[in-house]
Chain A
């Protein structure tokens, strides 16, 4: 659901559960209610957290949970948390270093994947490339908008986690014949990054892959990590992709099938760079079928050309 609807539902559930903003008395159900992100890049749900199974059953027997039946299951994220305790500060962790495959997103998006680092040809600016629907929130982002690492769905917050700013001239999805779902964000000064390492033994190469035979490809994504697939088709036209705002029909896509145990990609892997086994770029992952059997990527040459950037390693 949209954020305003989620907020309204949250208030309704909050009231029906008998919660107040003052201290809970002994014996009262212990619940928290908030807004959760949904799998859809721009969707939200209501987060309902019970401290224990006993709390949940007590509220159910008192009829307080009947309010949840007014909403589809997919709109409610109900979990049992166990006790929530205040803790003293953990030791500081080492500074984060941005890398290929990291969680990233526009401040209004949920989460996607950092595809690769790039240098803009026009002015030499250094930045990152991912999907339009990750960095520009599906054509809605403006020049200079904050880009977060980790992404909002992974608890990234403004201003502490701002690592870059959207470059406004990205190719729009609302185009007559789109081929790419991509955007570039300029890196903020002082952000540490590793532009080359995909795994300790595999480094990204600058030159695009040459595709022959039934090519095996890899990708490193925010959700599924490093996975393998096989290219089944190139020059793939009339590819209907169902965005929240409507269907976009792409031409010249790359189709990939999953090989191995798990799917090649899942939601949150959007924007992953697809490479050949030697590390040469192939494409930018953008979509998949609902059953995660087939996956679609923009050709890397089209992405670089549309954004006016080169791969930075």
Chain B
């Protein structure tokens, strides 16, 4: 995927989104997404409830939302 920004810009938006999502039980992780030409933000959720609105871009940074299964040690 393209549309990446510099690392520091992605980290800043990640922190902003993490604050927005703090306390949401659906959150399964948030990180800096590695895109073909730079960085974005990746948000993992257990499900997507109707009251949870996450923008596809925030401050010009691509936000990838992924619904994922539980994580277990191998």
Contacts and interface: CB of A to CB of B under 8 A. Distances in A.
B34 interface: yes
Contact of A290 (B30, B33, B66, B70): B70
Given A232-B33, A238-B18, A238-B27, A285 B74 contact: yes
B29 A255 contact: yes
Interface string A233-245: 1111111111100
A231 B18 CA distance: 21
A263 to B, nearest CB: 11
B20 interface: no
Contact size range, A: 35 or more
Interface string B20-44: 0000000111111111110000101
Interface in A228-271: 231-243, 253, 255, 265-270
B33 A240 contact: no
A289 B68 contact: yes
Nearest to A111: B74
A233 B31 contact: yes
Given A265-B74, A287-B73, A233 B33 contact: yes
A215 interface: yes
Given A211-B34, A287-B73, A237 B18 contact: yes
- Among B29, B33, B37, chain A packs the most CB atoms within 10 A around the CB of B29
Interface string B40-70: 0010100000000000000000000010111
Contacts of A290: 69-72
Given A232-B42, A233-B42, A286 B69 contact: no
B31 A242 contact: no
A41 B18 CA distance: 32
A288 B70 CA distance: 8
A133 interface: yes
B71 A181 contact: no
A154 B61 CA distance: 47
B63 to A, nearest CB: 12
Interface in A209-239: 211, 213-215, 231-239
Contact of B68 (A211, A214, A293): A293
B73 A293 contact: no
A198 interface: no
B14 to A, nearest CB: 7
A242 B70 contact: yes
14 contacts: A133-B73, A211-B34, A236-B29, A237-B18, A237-B31, A238-B18, A239-B28, A241-B72, A241-B73, A242-B72, A255-B42, A267-B74, A288-B71, A290-B70
Interface of B: 11, 14, 18, 27-37, 42, 44, 66, 68-74
